[in-house]
Structure 1
Amino acid sequence: MILKQKNLSELYDKSYHKNNVFEIVLIIIFAVITLIGILNHAMWRDELNGWLIARDSYSFINFFDNIKYEGHPLIWYVCLWFLNQITGNPLAMQFFHWFIAIASVSIFVIFSPFTKTQKILFIFGYLPLYEYSVISRNYGIGVLSIFIFCACFKTRHNSYLPLALILAIMANTNAYCLLISLALGFTLTIEYIFRGYFHYQTKANKYNILGASLIFFLGIFISVFMLLPPADSTLQGGASQWFFQLDFNRLTQTITRIWRSYVLVIIPSDSKPIDLFIFSFLSLGLFTFSLLILLKKPIALLFYIAVNLEILAFTYAKFLGSQRHYGHLYIILIAALWLAHYYDNSPIIIKFIDRINHRLSKITLNGYNFVYHNKKSLLLMILWLQLIAGIVAFSRDLITPYSSSQVTANFIKDNELSNHLIMGSEDFTIAPISGYLNQKIYYPESQKLGSYVLFNNERKIVNDGDIMKQMINIIAEENQDILLIMNREFMERSPNLDIEFIEKFTKSFIYNEKYYLYLVKSVPSLS
């Protein structure tokens, strides 16, 4: 199923350089394909809102305050802030994210223990090829930190400081990587405390462990601090909206996230209870299969169980999420298999089960033997399905714009419409146009010029009538025409305004980032 694990030191071994043609060619092919995807990709609001915060926050303190409304930790936004000191062109963010994706794939291809076939299938699967490379979000840098951790895992035999630093960085990439960082930190702690049982040795002394612990917990503290929303945040219900009631439908929705993460081709509908019930059992089957694969690798198994429980609990209690969120469950499986190959087989778990119930241990052992002989086929099946999903998503993005924001902004520039006061609603769907135009837009929801959108109490939902009233007031006070951008048709009319339809852009994968343009002028007085 796998090849021998490479060490970091092998990068400098001459014999290694004679046999690295496969890795280099594979990385180059990935880089070229994803570059084509990125240059063709029309960014949507979730990509550009962070860029706009970095671009238009009036001070560094204001920048940090704004981040807290985003529901994400610091690192990605700090990177965007530095990029904005160089250029205001959001293409810089895409290139930066492209380099991150290449770095992640390079580490995976060079250092992971998987076979050539498995490496090819993985990197051209949905998450590495599309979701975490073409779409510029903070999840890509989180995956990079996970792969760096796996590649550097052996360093714990000498010092815990490198791994602690990686975990601190990982925790500050996104909420899911915070949970992964906590699980990895917990796993390292258990391994050290029970090192006699696991025949594990390390040269790290108490000062090294203390320093590593301080780095790790500082990273966790900073991440949690940034993730705690302000009191007036309304994003995902703010700080108060959690789901702790026992609900069978919610439970099945949560469990099926395992299937949705591993198998992307056939997925259940969240609105169909029968589908959820069936796919919950299939999800538990996949989970059990994975547990049995790791049965004789107790440390890797501990990590896999701990982090799955964390993420599934968070999914149930707070946020069901999308593929970019629960896709981390698939990355966790890959990471657990990677970490497993640092260890020899251990009978500890089988012996422990045998002490509890001999019959149960025999059933477990039989299950392990079955999985052991079929694990290569299962993993290949998952990887092939991921590949199919990756090809479909990547191809779709080449044909259908992810958002109509870029083509709309280009139309405005080409027709010199940006000289008008631009008003746009619904604000968060208009934000990516502000990013591409590199100028602020008047948002009726906040009744002021802006670019990024913060989900707080200052933002009020408006209807077409409210927008009409604001346009009448603005034209009366400012005596200038308005370019109105709507993510729906504007049906309201007024005898005081001449509203001329200009163009519409409705070819978009994101359903509410389709745009309608209107030129609004004051009707001349007959007197």
Structure 2
Amino acid sequence: MFISRVSEKHKLVVIFLIYAVVIAVGLFFHEIWLDESQAWLIARDASLLDLFKLAGYEGSPVLWHLLLMPFAKLGLPIASMQVLQFIIILTAAGLLLKYAPFPWWMKALILASYPMFYEYAIISRSYGLGVLLIFAVLSAWPNRQSKVWQLALLITLLAQVHIFGLWLAICFVVYWLVDARKMNGRVLAGNLFLIALPILSIGLAVAMLWPPTDLSHSIAPFDFIFEWGDLEQLKFVITGAFFPIPDPGGRFWNNVWWSNQAVFSIGLFSFVVSYLSFYVGRSKLITLYSVMSSGMIILFLTKHLQASRYLVILVIILIACYWLAELEKSKSSKSDLGLSRAMVSVVLILQIPMAGIALTTDLFGMFSPSQQAAKVLRSDPDYVEVLLMSFPSQYGVSLLPFIDDAHKTVYGVEYERDVSYMVWNTEQSYGYDLGADVAIQRIEDVVAERKPKLAILAVAYDKDELWRPLLKKYAIYGDFSDALLNHEQLLLIDVTAPK
């Protein structure tokens, strides 16, 4: 066959180029949504001190925001964030293709898996940066004794990406210390300062992520009380991570069809196979995989994290531990890893359907209406003097990156002031449940006070108890209720003056 005559290097180059083209197209057509905009707006408008104060509300350390800051503060368009995301995920892919001890076809399967093909590639959030640093740690692992500084720096950075990176950094540090003690205890003694760096970074990340006393009640607190009903959520976690097919009756994204017995059975099968792959390969890395994945599952259950964008980190953990397992085998034995590789490949193949569903749906549908809504606003002759209001505030905030510098804030009805990004505190969460009468009164009061030439309210489409009474007095300015995500669907209402 033709493929058998092509060298391994050329196959990897072709895989990389195809991957780069697909991700570039996906990023170009993807409409940026609130969570992506939120990080950009914080980087644009928050001070360095505020950045650290906001970490507890964001549930994420500051590394991603620090990377965005130079671009945002220079006034570059938010598309530059997607360019940065493209560079990050391609670098991660490059590390995988160059350093992972897998055959070319297995590397291709990894890049075609849901987290690498869509979730952590197309969505511009800190998760892609986490994947890059995980792959960088794995690439540096063979030189962990001779280049201690390299591994120490990478784990230090990994702890600052997100809470998942923090947990994996803890696991990597412990595994590294145990491994170094077995191989050469003098390495530890001679590099105490370098080894202390990731430990200090872990401590700093824990301090930043410690929940503030006024954290929004809509962000679930840790719940360490076990109930038998939690086993239902475990079904959700396993399905969402290992066979994240969406429920056809709902949205395509973060909508795991765990209640379908056939889908759950396939997810459970994939989960079990992921463990058997280490057992069949006689790898000691099953312990690390168990600790990493179990810790993450406990986090999902205690924080009630119910979205596939969180859950598929378990697939990245499988890839990471199997990478280390093959490095271990290459040093100690040349035994056949065929069955073990086949098992991991089955897990990866079961990720591909969702990868295809997600990317094609995103390409041909409207992920978020923010850009289109902002375009409608900018086309209005009275746009320069517009007062933009929002309830809840995040619907207006999501428009801000696509509006010029003259409009850097939105009047948040629940906050009763102008805001340029969300702060997920109790003020926001209590305000979200504001009664329609109170919200309408606040809206009309601020219009009467500021007397704008044009006053536009962005309102959640599911807040019909608010917009239906408003439409008795005011006109619809723009209807964007056809977005793919129901929590992104919104209406623009002209509240300048009654009909």
* TM-score, reference length from structure 2: 0.87
**3-state SS of 2:487 partner:** coil
- Equivalent residue, structure 1, for 2:250: none
How far 1:373 moved relative to its partner? 6.2
Task: Write the mapping of 1:5-44 to structure 2, written as runs, cut at 5 A.
Answer: 20-44=9-33
- Equivalent residue, structure 2, for 1:444: 413
Please tell me whether the aligned partners of residues 254 and 320 of structure 1 are also in contact (alpha carbons under 8 angstroms): no
- Equivalent residue, structure 1, for 2:356: 391
| Cα-to-partner distance string for 1:489-514 (whole Å, 9 max, x where unaligned) | 5112499xx51222201221211211
CA radius of gyration, larger in: 1
Please tell me whether the aligned partners of residues 49 and 452 of structure 1 are also in contact (alpha carbons under 8 angstroms): yes
- Equivalent residue, structure 2, for 1:297: 283
Please tell me whether the aligned partners of residues 41 and 134 of structure 1 are also in contact (alpha carbons under 8 angstroms): yes
How far 1:244 moved relative to its partner? 1.8
Please tell me whether the aligned partners of residues 245 and 263 of structure 2 are also in contact (alpha carbons under 8 angstroms): no
Taking the aligned partners of 2:274 and 2:419, their CA distance within structure 1 comes to 46
How far 1:472 moved relative to its partner? 2.1
Quick one: structure 1 residues 229 and 88, their matched pair in 2 at CA, closer, same or farther if it must change by over 3 Å?
Answer: farther
**3-state SS of 1:522 partner:** coil
Taking the aligned partners of 1:443 and 1:119, their CA distance within structure 2 comes to 47
- Equivalent residue, structure 2, for 1:427: 393
- Equivalent residue, structure 2, for 1:89: 77
Quick one: structure 1 residues 167 and 236, their matched pair in 2 at CA, closer, same or farther if it must change by over 3 Å?
Answer: farther
Quick one: structure 1 residues 278 and 297, their matched pair in 2 at CA, closer, same or farther if it must change by over 3 Å?
Answer: closer
- Equivalent residue, structure 2, for 1:456: 425
Please tell me whether the aligned partners of residues 38 and 94 of structure 1 are also in contact (alpha carbons under 8 angstroms): yes
How far 1:81 moved relative to its partner? 1.3
Aligned equivalent of 2:273, options 276, 283, 286: 286
1:326 aligns with 2:311: yes
Taking the aligned partners of 1:277 and 1:135, their CA distance within structure 2 comes to 26
Aligned equivalent of 2:449, options 454, 461, 477: 477
- Equivalent residue, structure 2, for 1:251: 231
How far 1:201 moved relative to its partner? 4.6
**3-state SS of 1:521 partner:** coil
1:179 aligns with 2:167: yes
| Cα-to-partner distance string for 1:273-294 (whole Å, 9 max, x where unaligned) | 9789867864663354244145
1:500 aligns with 2:469: no
Taking the aligned partners of 1:464 and 1:326, their CA distance within structure 2 comes to 36
After superposition, the CA RMSD in angstroms is 2.8
**3-state SS of 2:350 partner:** helix
**3-state SS of 2:222 partner:** coil
Taking the aligned partners of 1:476 and 1:234, their CA distance within structure 2 comes to 30
How far 1:19 moved relative to its partner? 6.1
Q: Which runs of 5+ in 2 are unaligned?
A: 1-6, 248-254
Taking the aligned partners of 1:36 and 1:416, their CA distance within structure 2 comes to 33
Taking the aligned partners of 2:119 and 2:229, their CA distance within structure 1 comes to 27
How far 1:236 moved relative to its partner? 5.2
How far 1:435 moved relative to its partner? 2.1
Please tell me whether the aligned partners of residues 125 and 391 of structure 1 are also in contact (alpha carbons under 8 angstroms): no
Quick one: structure 1 residues 266 and 48, their matched pair in 2 at CA, closer, same or farther if it must change by over 3 Å?
Answer: closer
Q: Which runs of 5+ in 1 are unaligned?
A: 1-17, 348-368
| Cα-to-partner distance string for 1:342-381 (whole Å, 9 max, x where unaligned) | 223899xxxxxxxxxxxxxxxxxxxxx9x96643433332
Please tell me whether the aligned partners of residues 425 and 444 of structure 1 are also in contact (alpha carbons under 8 angstroms): yes
Taking the aligned partners of 1:266 and 1:229, their CA distance within structure 2 comes to 31
Aligned equivalent of 2:59, options 62, 68, 71: 71
Quick one: structure 1 residues 308 and 269, their matched pair in 2 at CA, closer, same or farther if it must change by over 3 Å?
Answer: same
Please tell me whether the aligned partners of residues 474 and 498 of structure 2 are also in contact (alpha carbons under 8 angstroms): no
Please tell me whether the aligned partners of residues 242 and 317 of structure 1 are also in contact (alpha carbons under 8 angstroms): yes
Amino acid at match of 2:33: W
**Identical-residue share of aligned pairs (%):** 22
